[in-house]
Amino acid sequence: MAGKIKLPHKCPKCGVIAKTEPELEKIFGYRTLNGGVSNQSQCKKCR
Ligand SMILES: [Zn+2]
């Protein structure tokens, strides 16, 4: 994939941490686009 997500990723607001990509998808939710991914900086709760 062209897009890179740094792991672990921490929510700057509440501090929840995703250590793996499944966790990232579950906690933050990220979009898979053509040829790449983009993550959300804040978790689902904080948005
Ligand atoms: Zn959060």
* C-alpha count within 13 angstroms, C-beta hemisphere, residue 25: 5
Ligand 1 centroid – CA 38 distance (Å): 17
Q: Please tell me the predicted confidence (pLDDT) of residue 18.
A: 92
Range of the domain at 4: 1-47
Q: What is the pTM of this model?
A: 0.69
Ligand 1 centroid – CA 31 distance (Å): 17
Distance separating alpha carbons of residues 19 and 34, to the nearest angstrom: 24
Total structural domains in the chain?
1
Ligand 1 centroid – CA 1 distance (Å): 25
For residue 43, give Cα distances in angstroms to 1, 3, 31, 34, 47.
22, 18, 13, 23, 7
pLDDT tier, 1 (very low <50, low <70, confident <90, very high otherwise): very low
Contact call for residues 7 and 24 (beta carbons, < 8 A): yes
pLDDT tens digits along 7-45: 898 999 999 999 998 898 899 887 666 666 666 788 999
Residue 40: CB atoms within 10 A of its CB come to 17
Q: Please tell me the predicted confidence (pLDDT) of residue 25.
A: 85
Ligand 1 centroid – CA 10 distance (Å): 8
Please say if the pLDDT value at position 5 is more than 80. Answer: no
